[in-house]
Structure 1
Amino acid sequence: MERTVYEEETYVGLVVRESKISVNSSLEQDDNQLDFDLKIIAENTGDMLIIASYSNNTMGENEAVNESVDISNLFKANIAFRYFNGMVFSCSVYDFYDQMPLEAKIEFTMTKRISSSVTNKDKWEMFCVFLDETRSTWSDAGMVTTSYSLDQVSCYSEHLTSFSVLMKVTTDNVSVENSETLSLMSTVCV
């Protein structure tokens, strides 16, 4: 296995030439750590090129990103989505010789203690998301958030792309049912 690690101020990258169909690795950037387990789906008997990067996003951890989020089956009133750690993980796999992309499944875990701006009174939940480039949104379609705590989130995906973790924070005591009613009343009354 040939392995090259690139480290810059805002990202760390990994390029691996590998022939095994399963690869475990990790990347670290500042106090952020990412561990991943990659399983190649394609019938590949030769060498593969695996490219992974873990980089700072352009938005900070506590900045709301609601406009660019598409989480299925979730009413979004009174909710703020924030980045878990401001990091984006990208991964691609190619046949080494013909440079054709290969399909893969991936499990990854992001680790970092989240900021103190989230209090115990806040209701919070973590969502693993991928960048839907055709719609320019973060989406949870096809993603599974397997476990989470205040300092670690584990995700599973059956496709490779750019990934991040969003934290949903609800800080008021309005129930979802009342929130939907208030939203409908606001729409009707306007």
Structure 2
Amino acid sequence: MKATLSKSDRTIVPIIIGLSVVVPVVVVVLMNLPTRYDLLGLEVGSFPFFHALINGMTAILLFLGYAFIRNGKKIAHRNVMITAFGLSALFLVSYVISKISNEPVPYGGEGMLRYVYFFILITHIALSAIIIPLVLFTMYRGLTGEYSKHKKIARWTFPIWMYVAITGVLVYLFMLPYY
């Protein structure tokens, strides 16, 4: 039996897939620009602190959203999850601006700490790309009332999104002495 896509799925699913491919590609391209363009005139350390703040607030909202849904508070769950999504979108725009504006800052740690940092960084980056379609599909299914599909994908989305948010803060803390 072949499943058919709803009219909205035929529109939204290709958009989600397109964004899931385009966003990571754009970030990689911007990270490798030969020239930087100081768009906002901010010091290099301003962006990382802002990004860590957004990631920390996102993690708190994700935890609250999980607690709300476990306690049957669907409206509160929806509201904090939409806010977490908005913060993540703000993070993405700010991150792109920071990559256009500032040269990458190398990590200067040594020894075992260096291995721990790069493990966290690499898993954070890889899961950051994976989380884009997961969040978009989870939000879409929840907002369209397809709760059984929403719940199935949210079981994967929540822990990965939480990991990305928390490791975003950890990457900032590791890098703090070098900004």
Shared fold (TM-score greater than 0.5)? no
TM-score bracket for this pair, using the shorter chain length? under 0.3
Provide TM-score, normalisation by structure 1: 0.23
Provide TM-score, normalisation by structure 2: 0.24
Structure whose alpha-carbon radius of gyration is higher: 1
Q: Which has the higher contact order (CA 8 A, sep 6+)?
A: 2
Higher share in strand: 1
Higher share in helix: 2
